[in-house]
Structure 1
Amino acid sequence: MRNDLSVAFAGASLSPVASRAASLLEEAADLLVVHLDFAAAADRCEKGCQSLLGDLENEDSGSSEELRCSLCIVGIQALAEMNRWREVLPWVLQYYQVPAHLPPKVLELCILLHSKVKEPLVMLDVGSNWLRASANQHMPTYGLLVQLYLFHVLLPLGRFAEARDLVEGCKALSKEQRLEARRAIKEKRRQWSQQADKHPDPKEQADMAWKTQLGSVSQKVLTTLAQLGRALGCLAGQLGSIPYKKALFAAFLLFLVVVKLDPASPTSLPFLYRLTQLFHQARSAVFSSHCRSPVQG
């Protein structure tokens, strides 16, 4: 691995900073592939990218740019091997600032990585920003990245309208590629429709469960209110023969039931049942002399 990298940068006139970064890249590649020391490989890539931050401002920064891209690729692989894929995108963007500046190879690797861990949503905005940048649309690999973004980000997320717009508006795709993309969108939409029929949306299921529960609650409320009606019916027949304070107390209880309580709320049921019992007890205690049948002598 060291020899391959040495040959790759042998013809380039490297600055002292770039030479140091190239040495760190060689170490990182050996640690990753030969020694399987992923943490050490990621550390070398971190140091190499940090050392290049100032060198990238030089006039001849082409080699430094290639080195930074290579260091990021090795670093991404090292982080992925340690299952630290959540750190990949923030780590890369600290050296490229904005998604549109990512090298095509780095973006490709990020899309494939997040697709593999089934987290395509992470790349939704990043990929969209990169593809919309006019400077990127003239790159030879632009069509490939459009296809990767389509198949590994948009379609898994069910973004069919965005997928259709991307395909129809991309001049980098050939006629055959555009036709294949249309078929893929149509098939994926059909699969989503079938899956939605088999497994309804959780929100819709919750609404249906609530409606079923509400129907049961309403039946209980009607039963309770019927009991209250019978109790108040007996009470109303006696209002003319009871003191004023007792009539006022009965009116107050009726006000609580009708105005202050929401009968459709399940939390009201225990109170309604208790109130019904209190009515029966009050009727027995207060109006027993009026409701009791005359004693036969």
Structure 2
Amino acid sequence: MPASRADMSQAPADRASPPRRRRSAGSVYVLLLALSVIFVGPLVWLLLAALKTREEWAAVPTKVLPEHAQWSNFTHALTDINFPAYALNSLFLATTYATLITLSSAAVGFGFARLRAPGKRALFLVLLSTMMLPQVLTLLPTYVLFSRIGLVNTYWPWVLWGLAASPFLAFLFRQFFAAIPRELEDAAIIDGCGWGRIFFRIFLPLSRPVLITAFLLSFTWSWGDYIAPALLLDVDHTTLSVAITAWYEDPHGNPLPTVQAAAAGLYVLPVLMIFLFAQRYFVRSVVSSGVKG
């Protein structure tokens, strides 16, 4: 039976589609490669700077590769200041803050997703609107408040910030909890469970990908924060981010940029390792927390 005109006209297009798809995939790969170079470039530059001498670092034009790798810069980074103590301060603050803000944000997201109350939508819009406020705008009033109640040079501000929840994380949990079937909640209520047991026994175990993502995000925020520790903590209680930027100096008081670069490389290493091991949870949380009204 002779082929129709529609079939004959469609055949060349079908034969041409695989090369077109290959060209499109190639363009995507080139774009991803370019973005990877852009994002990885600063980290590579940091590691190369950590292996240079001060003369190579200050040379004009700048030498890309060091002539002889200065691994001693990493030794100086660990010994010129009390690196382990400041690292423990950062770890304690970041872990405490991340744990508290993850649990409080999950509770807020659960309330907005599953509980019924008048004005809930308006309150949720107010919560989302606070995401547009830059942190630096509230930093001075926060410092004045903590200073008047005697919390400067203590770790209590991070505890209070953690208990206050995060608008972004609360939104993330709200989207995830809203997608859980209501039959699970109804069955638990019939069995006599209150809202607290429903939250801790049903919803939190189901939200493991979002919990891990929220913890890692908040841990990274606190671990990389410089302004708040510099403003609120003294020399003995401050974090590694402040110590790296302030206290690597030669006997004449001049900064040591190559040692600072080595210390910064050690500083970002834990976050990179955590992300490499937990990146699959980021993908799961994004997929499971899709936008839902």
Higher Cα Rg: structure 1 or 2?
A: 1
Higher relative contact order (CA 8 A, sep 6+): 2
TM-score normalised by the chain length of structure 2: 0.22
TM-score normalised by the chain length of structure 1: 0.22
